Amino acid sequence: MLDVSLPNIPLFYKRNRIVPLEDDKTTLRLLCGDGPSPRGLLYEDEGDGLAYREGKYNLYELKIEQGRASVSYLHHGMASRYQKVVVCYPDREEIIPFVVE
């Protein structure tokens, strides 16, 4: 059992996975598990209302291949608010522009 406090709750995630976290309204932070090619999904909508029912949302595939982060659309239904990505590897961080391929 871990001894933790409310402000310091640990985050556990699987090897070879990417966990997306929002730093602020325009920065996406990706926690990357160790493994040959981590992957993950991210859903984004306007955060209020029911516009997602009409397709106004984005679904992204996040992946790291050969040390390079990439983001691609699985569904593109609105303008994204993200401008940059901070990729957090087990041993380093990398800041890249938010470019969807």
pTM: 0.82
86 within some domain? yes
Would you give the DSSP letter of residue 33? -
5 within some domain? no
**SS3 (DSSP) at 69:** strand
d(CA 7, CA 90): 22
31 within some domain? yes
Total domain count for the chain?
1
CATH of residue 43: 2.60.40.1180
In this prediction, residue 66 carries a pLDDT of 82
51 within some domain? yes
8 within some domain? no
Q: With 80 as the cut, is the pLDDT of residue 1 above it? A: no
Q: With 80 as the cut, is the pLDDT of residue 85 above it? A: yes
- What's the number of CA atoms in the CB half-sphere (13 Å) around residue 48? 0
Alpha-helical (H) ranges within the chain are none
Q: With 80 as the cut, is the pLDDT of residue 43 above it? A: yes
Q: With 80 as the cut, is the pLDDT of residue 34 above it? A: no
Domain range for 83 is 15-97
52 within some domain? yes
Q: With 90 as the cut, is the pLDDT of residue 35 above it? A: no
